[in-house]
Structure formats: C-alpha cells, structure tokens
Amino acid sequence: MSEPPPPPGRVQQGPYVVRCGPGRYAYCRCQRSARFPLCDGTHRGTEFQPIKVDLDRELTVAWCCCGKSRNLPYCDGSHAGI
C-alpha cells in the first residue's frame, strides 16, 4: 500500500483528496496551518476554530483547499468558479 499524499500546506484551487481512516480530523479555518487543509494548531490565539470531523469508517475525503465551498470542510466544486 502506498503512502497517502501529503497535505498541500497552502490554499490552492482544488481539493486535497485522500483516503482517511476512522477517527477525528480537524479542518483548518485560519489557512495558516503547515498541514493545510488539516489543522496543526496554528490558529491558537486567533478568532478561528477548526471544524471537527468524526469519521466512523474509512472514506475517501475531498477536503476543500480554496475556502469557497458552501459545504466546508468538503469540496463542493466551487473552486471551479474562482
């Protein structure tokens, strides 16, 4: 089995698509995380809070990396209109 792709670490036009095992994930809202779109705690001291996601089974997740989705933390295709 191959390693999952690393998170992009920056805002980009297009999602971060990755297979995720069951567990808790935190989606970065401050867009400063070195692991963006996943939270690394950099938001501490700002007004931003991550979006918590609990997965009860393994799924392929398309995490929004443009910040424009109307269904955060998931990509809804809105990046195509940027």
Q: Which is nearer to ligand FES, 45 or 60 (CB)?
A: 60
DSSP state of 55: E
| Shortest distance (Å) from residue 67 CB to ligand FES | 6
Question: Phi and psi of 78, rounded to 5°?
Answer: -60, -25
Q: Which is nearer to ligand FES, 5 or 22 (CB)?
A: 5
Question: Which segments of the chain does DSSP mark as H helices, in order?
Answer: none
Give the start-end residues of each E strand in 7-55.
16-20, 23-27, 51-55
| Shortest distance (Å) from residue 81 CB to ligand FES | 9
| Shortest distance (Å) from residue 29 CB to ligand FES | 13
Distance CA 78, CA 72 (A): 11
**Residues found near ligand FES in the complex (CB under 6 A):** 14-15, 64-66, 68-69, 75-79
Number of residues written out for the chain: 82
Q: Which is nearer to ligand FES, 19 or 22 (CB)?
A: 19
